[in-house]
Chain A
Protein backbone atom coordinates (compact mmCIF):
# COMPACT_ATOMS: atom_id res chain seq x y z
CA UNK A 1 0.00 0.00 0.00
CA UNK A 2 2.90 2.30 0.84
CA UNK A 3 4.28 1.52 -2.59
CA UNK A 4 1.11 2.77 -4.27
CA UNK A 5 1.01 5.84 -2.05
CA UNK A 6 4.60 6.63 -3.04
CA UNK A 7 3.73 6.04 -6.68
CA UNK A 8 0.72 8.40 -6.51
CA UNK A 9 2.91 10.98 -4.78
CA UNK A 10 5.58 10.66 -7.45
CA UNK A 11 3.03 11.17 -10.23
CA UNK A 12 1.40 14.10 -8.42
CA UNK A 13 4.71 15.94 -8.03
CA UNK A 14 4.83 16.22 -11.82
CA UNK A 15 1.70 18.38 -11.83
CA UNK A 16 2.70 22.04 -11.90
CA UNK A 17 0.10 23.14 -9.41
CA UNK A 18 0.04 24.59 -5.91
CA UNK A 19 0.65 22.29 -2.93
CA UNK A 20 -3.04 22.08 -1.99
CA UNK A 21 -4.04 21.05 -5.49
CA UNK A 22 -1.12 18.61 -5.65
CA UNK A 23 -2.36 16.92 -2.47
CA UNK A 24 -5.81 16.63 -4.06
CA UNK A 25 -4.33 15.14 -7.26
CA UNK A 26 -2.36 12.63 -5.20
CA UNK A 27 -5.46 11.63 -3.19
CA UNK A 28 -7.50 11.16 -6.35
CA UNK A 29 -4.84 9.11 -8.13
CA UNK A 30 -4.34 7.01 -4.99
CA UNK A 31 -8.07 6.29 -4.75
CA UNK A 32 -8.01 4.99 -8.34
CA UNK A 33 -4.80 3.01 -7.80
CA UNK A 34 -6.26 1.36 -4.68
CA UNK A 35 -9.43 0.44 -6.56
CA UNK A 36 -7.36 -1.27 -9.29
CA UNK A 37 -5.20 -2.92 -6.61
CA UNK A 38 -8.27 -4.41 -4.92
CA UNK A 39 -9.47 -5.81 -8.25
CA UNK A 40 -6.07 -7.27 -9.05
CA UNK A 41 -5.58 -8.68 -5.55
CA UNK A 42 -8.95 -10.42 -5.76
CA UNK A 43 -7.96 -11.81 -9.17
CA UNK A 44 -4.34 -12.81 -8.56
CA UNK A 45 -4.22 -13.21 -4.79
CA UNK A 46 -0.60 -12.05 -4.63
CA UNK A 47 -0.04 -8.51 -3.28
CA UNK A 48 3.20 -7.93 -5.21
CA UNK A 49 1.71 -9.09 -8.47
CA UNK A 50 -1.33 -6.91 -7.74
CA UNK A 51 0.87 -3.83 -7.24
CA UNK A 52 2.81 -4.53 -10.42
CA UNK A 53 -0.39 -5.06 -12.44
CA UNK A 54 -1.93 -1.93 -10.92
CA UNK A 55 1.01 0.15 -12.16
CA UNK A 56 0.86 -1.46 -15.58
CA UNK A 57 -2.86 -0.71 -15.92
CA UNK A 58 -2.38 2.85 -14.77
CA UNK A 59 0.06 3.56 -17.57
CA UNK A 60 3.65 4.54 -18.25
CA UNK A 61 4.74 6.87 -15.42
CA UNK A 62 6.86 9.09 -17.68
CA UNK A 63 3.99 9.66 -20.10
CA UNK A 64 1.57 10.27 -17.24
CA UNK A 65 3.90 12.74 -15.57
CA UNK A 66 4.38 14.58 -18.86
CA UNK A 67 0.63 14.78 -19.38
CA UNK A 68 -0.02 15.87 -15.80
CA UNK A 69 2.67 18.54 -16.14
CA UNK A 70 0.91 20.05 -19.13
CA UNK A 71 -2.63 19.72 -17.75
CA UNK A 72 -2.43 22.58 -15.22
CA UNK A 73 -4.23 25.87 -15.66
CA UNK A 74 -2.55 29.28 -15.87
CA UNK A 75 -3.49 30.10 -12.24
CA UNK A 76 -2.13 26.75 -11.08
CA UNK A 77 1.13 27.43 -12.90
CA UNK A 78 1.39 30.71 -11.01
CA UNK A 79 0.70 28.99 -7.70
CA UNK A 80 3.37 26.41 -8.53
CA UNK A 81 6.01 28.99 -9.46
CA UNK A 82 5.15 31.22 -6.50
CA UNK A 83 5.55 28.31 -4.10
CA UNK A 84 8.80 27.22 -5.75
CA UNK A 85 10.12 30.79 -5.51
CA UNK A 86 8.93 31.05 -1.92
CA UNK A 87 10.70 27.75 -1.18
CA UNK A 88 14.01 29.09 -2.48
CA UNK A 89 13.56 32.42 -0.70
CA UNK A 90 12.47 30.62 2.47
CA UNK A 91 15.94 29.09 2.83
CA UNK A 92 17.46 32.56 2.93
CA UNK A 93 14.78 34.05 5.16
CA UNK A 94 16.72 33.29 8.34
CA UNK A 95 19.79 35.07 7.03
CA UNK A 96 17.80 38.05 5.72
CA UNK A 97 15.90 38.29 9.03
CA UNK A 98 19.02 38.04 11.21
CA UNK A 99 20.83 40.63 9.05
CA UNK A 100 17.83 42.97 9.26
CA UNK A 101 17.71 42.70 13.06
CA UNK A 102 21.48 43.21 13.46
CA UNK A 103 21.69 46.17 11.06
CA UNK A 104 18.52 47.68 12.54
CA UNK A 105 19.86 47.39 16.09
CA UNK A 106 23.11 48.87 14.82
CA UNK A 107 21.12 52.04 14.00
CA UNK A 108 18.84 51.92 17.03
CA UNK A 109 21.46 51.54 19.78
CA UNK A 110 23.65 54.60 18.98
CA UNK A 111 20.52 56.70 18.32
CA UNK A 112 18.99 55.69 21.65
CA UNK A 113 22.32 56.34 23.43
CA UNK A 114 22.61 59.81 21.87
CA UNK A 115 18.98 60.74 22.66
CA UNK A 116 19.40 59.49 26.25
CA UNK A 117 22.54 61.55 26.73
CA UNK A 118 20.73 64.51 25.23
CA UNK A 119 17.83 64.10 27.62
CA UNK A 120 20.20 63.91 30.61
CA UNK A 121 22.30 66.94 29.59
CA UNK A 122 19.30 68.90 28.21
CA UNK A 123 21.47 70.25 25.40
CA UNK A 124 22.53 69.24 21.91
CA UNK A 125 22.65 70.11 18.27
CA UNK A 126 19.08 70.12 16.75
CA UNK A 127 20.52 68.64 13.53
CA UNK A 128 21.90 65.68 15.48
CA UNK A 129 18.55 65.17 17.22
CA UNK A 130 16.81 65.00 13.86
CA UNK A 131 19.42 62.55 12.55
CA UNK A 132 19.13 60.40 15.67
CA UNK A 133 15.32 60.23 15.36
CA UNK A 134 15.65 59.34 11.67
CA UNK A 135 18.20 56.63 12.46
CA UNK A 136 16.00 55.33 15.27
CA UNK A 137 13.00 55.09 12.94
CA UNK A 138 15.02 53.41 10.18
CA UNK A 139 16.66 51.06 12.67
CA UNK A 140 13.32 50.08 14.22
CA UNK A 141 11.82 49.45 10.78
CA UNK A 142 14.75 47.22 9.79
CA UNK A 143 14.77 45.36 13.11
CA UNK A 144 11.02 44.80 13.04
CA UNK A 145 11.15 43.66 9.41
CA UNK A 146 14.00 41.30 10.25
CA UNK A 147 12.15 39.95 13.28
CA UNK A 148 9.06 39.38 11.13
CA UNK A 149 11.20 37.50 8.57
CA UNK A 150 12.70 35.37 11.35
CA UNK A 151 9.25 34.64 12.77
CA UNK A 152 7.89 33.71 9.33
CA UNK A 153 10.90 31.46 8.78
CA UNK A 154 10.22 29.73 12.11
CA UNK A 155 6.52 29.28 11.25
CA UNK A 156 7.46 27.81 7.86
CA UNK A 157 9.88 25.42 9.51
CA UNK A 158 7.27 24.26 12.04
CA UNK A 159 4.66 23.90 9.30
CA UNK A 160 6.97 21.83 7.09
CA UNK A 161 7.90 19.57 10.07
CA UNK A 162 4.23 19.04 10.89
CA UNK A 163 3.51 18.17 7.25
Chain B
Protein backbone atom coordinates (compact mmCIF):
# COMPACT_ATOMS: atom_id res chain seq x y z
CA UNK B 1 0.00 0.00 0.00
CA UNK B 2 1.29 3.48 -0.91
CA UNK B 3 2.17 5.94 1.78
CA UNK B 4 -0.22 8.80 2.50
CA UNK B 5 1.71 12.05 2.61
CA UNK B 6 1.33 15.78 3.11
CA UNK B 7 -0.84 16.76 0.13
CA UNK B 8 -3.29 13.91 0.59
CA UNK B 9 -3.61 14.69 4.27
CA UNK B 10 -4.26 18.37 3.70
CA UNK B 11 -7.68 19.28 5.01
CA UNK B 12 -7.94 16.08 7.05
CA UNK B 13 -5.11 16.57 9.52
CA UNK B 14 -7.16 18.65 11.96
CA UNK B 15 -9.92 16.03 12.12
CA UNK B 16 -7.33 13.28 12.56
CA UNK B 17 -5.75 15.16 15.46
CA UNK B 18 -9.16 15.66 17.08
CA UNK B 19 -9.80 11.97 16.66
CA UNK B 20 -6.58 10.84 18.38
CA UNK B 21 -7.09 13.37 21.17
CA UNK B 22 -10.50 11.85 21.81
CA UNK B 23 -8.73 8.86 23.34
CA UNK B 24 -7.01 11.13 25.88
CA UNK B 25 -4.79 14.15 26.31
CA UNK B 26 -1.37 14.11 24.70
CA UNK B 27 1.64 16.25 23.80
CA UNK B 28 2.70 16.83 20.18
CA UNK B 29 5.00 13.85 19.87
CA UNK B 30 2.42 11.55 21.43
CA UNK B 31 -0.24 12.83 19.01
CA UNK B 32 2.11 11.98 16.17
CA UNK B 33 2.80 8.49 17.53
CA UNK B 34 -0.92 7.82 17.89
CA UNK B 35 -1.51 9.00 14.33
CA UNK B 36 1.25 6.77 12.98
CA UNK B 37 -0.02 3.82 15.00
CA UNK B 38 -3.62 4.36 13.90
CA UNK B 39 -2.49 4.72 10.29
CA UNK B 40 -0.55 1.43 10.50
CA UNK B 41 2.57 3.14 9.24
CA UNK B 42 0.93 4.39 6.03
CA UNK B 43 0.76 8.00 7.22
CA UNK B 44 3.91 9.90 6.32
CA UNK B 45 3.74 13.13 8.19
CA UNK B 46 6.57 15.62 8.62
CA UNK B 47 6.63 15.98 12.38
CA UNK B 48 6.82 19.75 12.44
CA UNK B 49 3.69 20.13 10.33
CA UNK B 50 1.68 18.90 13.29
CA UNK B 51 2.17 22.16 15.19
CA UNK B 52 0.54 24.63 12.79
CA UNK B 53 -2.47 22.29 12.78
CA UNK B 54 -2.47 22.12 16.59
CA UNK B 55 -2.29 25.93 16.81
CA UNK B 56 -5.17 26.32 14.35
CA UNK B 57 -7.29 23.93 16.43
CA UNK B 58 -6.32 25.75 19.61
CA UNK B 59 -7.20 29.12 18.11
CA UNK B 60 -10.56 27.74 17.02
CA UNK B 61 -11.20 26.62 20.61
CA UNK B 62 -11.43 22.94 19.62
CA UNK B 63 -8.49 21.91 21.80
CA UNK B 64 -6.81 23.43 24.85
CA UNK B 65 -3.24 23.09 26.04
CA UNK B 66 -1.43 23.28 29.35
CA UNK B 67 2.29 23.17 30.00
CA UNK B 68 3.41 19.95 31.59
CA UNK B 69 4.63 20.38 35.15
CA UNK B 70 8.02 18.66 34.78
CA UNK B 71 10.58 18.58 32.01
CA UNK B 72 11.35 14.90 32.68
CA UNK B 73 15.07 15.30 31.95
CA UNK B 74 14.60 16.89 28.53
CA UNK B 75 17.23 19.58 29.20
CA UNK B 76 14.61 22.06 30.39
CA UNK B 77 12.42 21.74 27.29
CA UNK B 78 8.78 21.61 28.38
CA UNK B 79 5.93 20.14 26.37
CA UNK B 80 2.35 21.27 26.06
CA UNK B 81 -0.36 18.76 26.77
CA UNK B 82 -3.39 19.08 24.51
CA UNK B 83 -6.91 17.96 25.28
CA UNK B 84 -10.20 18.10 23.43
CA UNK B 85 -12.76 20.74 24.40
CA UNK B 86 -16.50 20.22 24.31
CA UNK B 87 -16.62 22.26 21.10
CA UNK B 88 -13.90 19.97 19.74
CA UNK B 89 -16.00 16.88 20.46
CA UNK B 90 -18.98 18.37 18.66
CA UNK B 91 -16.79 19.34 15.69
CA UNK B 92 -15.24 15.87 15.59
CA UNK B 93 -18.68 14.24 15.51
CA UNK B 94 -19.71 16.56 12.65
CA UNK B 95 -16.48 15.92 10.73
CA UNK B 96 -17.02 12.15 11.09
CA UNK B 97 -20.50 12.47 9.69
CA UNK B 98 -19.25 14.57 6.80
CA UNK B 99 -16.49 12.04 6.11
CA UNK B 100 -18.94 9.10 6.05
CA UNK B 101 -21.14 11.01 3.63
CA UNK B 102 -18.12 11.83 1.45
CA UNK B 103 -16.87 8.22 1.42
CA UNK B 104 -20.37 6.89 0.67
CA UNK B 105 -20.85 9.30 -2.23
CA UNK B 106 -17.39 9.08 -3.79
CA UNK B 107 -17.19 5.34 -3.04
CA UNK B 108 -20.44 4.78 -4.90
CA UNK B 109 -19.12 6.62 -7.94
CA UNK B 110 -15.68 5.01 -7.95
CA UNK B 111 -17.16 1.64 -7.11
CA UNK B 112 -19.57 1.94 -10.04
CA UNK B 113 -16.74 2.88 -12.36
CA UNK B 114 -14.64 -0.07 -11.20
CA UNK B 115 -17.50 -2.58 -11.61
CA UNK B 116 -19.66 -1.44 -14.53
CA UNK B 117 -23.19 -2.82 -14.57
CA UNK B 118 -23.86 -5.33 -17.28
CA UNK B 119 -26.32 -4.16 -19.91
Which residues of A come within 8 Å of B, CB atoms? 1, 11, 15, 24-25, 27-32, 34-36, 57-60, 63-64, 67-68, 70-73, 76
Q: Within 8 Å CB of B56, what residues of A?
A: 71
Please give me the residue from chain A that is nearest to B59 by CB atom.
A73
Answer whether A58 and B52 are a contact pair too, CB < 8 Å, given A28-B80, A30-B77. no
Q: Is the interface of B mostly helix, strand, loop or mixed?
A: helix
Interface mask (B62-94 → A, CB under 8 Å = 1, otherwise 0): 000000000000110111100000000000000
CB distance from B10 to the nearest CB of A (A): 10
| Contacting residues, chain A, for B28 (C-beta < 8 A) | 28, 31-32
Residue of B27, B51, B56, B78 with most chain A CB atoms under a 10 A cut-off:
B51
Q: A28-B79, A28-B80, A72-B59 are in contact. Are A64 and B74 (CB under 8 A)?
A: no
Query: How many residues in B have their beta carbons less than 8 Å from beta carbons of A?
Result: 19
Say yes or no: A64-B49 contact (C-beta < 8 A), given A28-B28, A72-B55, A72-B59. Answer: yes
B29 at the interface (CB under 8 A from A): yes
Complex CA gap A57/B56 in Å reads 21
